[in-house]
Amino acid sequence: MRDRIKDMKSPLPSFSSCAVNPPSGSGSHMTSDFGYAAYIPARRVCSQYRRYGRDNEECVAYETIPEQYVKNTRCRVDRDGDRHPRYCTRTYRWAEVFVEGQLAGPTYYWN
């Protein structure tokens, strides 16, 4: 896989080069998909504030937002330093394998 990526090829070879798909209805048909994904790491956000007076407030409870990947999007930073999608830190690649149209295992991410 790494050699294929270095040569700017698909991370996965076509399944026809690895195995012969049987005729429809006689066995498993496999396909794959791949692309880029923006990575957003886990982060803590305030979920409850306590107000002190009219203009002062303090966070008293936090919530952890789990990490996520936004498929088919690259992480980018504009001229003002804003990240798109918001909070992303880098761009990863991803690949999925399907058997009879159903995802066969978890999505694989790498950079």
- The burial class, CB within 10 Å (0-12 / 13-18 / 19+), for 7 is exposed
The pLDDT of residue 91 is 97
The pLDDT of residue 44 is 96
User: What pTM was estimated for this model as a whole?
Assistant: 0.70
Condensed to tens digits (0 to 9), the pLDDT of residues 27-53 reads: 678 889 999 999 999 999 999 999 988
Q: For the chain, what percent of residues have pLDDT higher than 70? A: 83
Helices and strands of the chain, counted as H and E runs: 2, 9
18 has a pLDDT exceeding 70: no
What letter represents residue 71's amino acid? K
59 has a pLDDT exceeding 80: yes
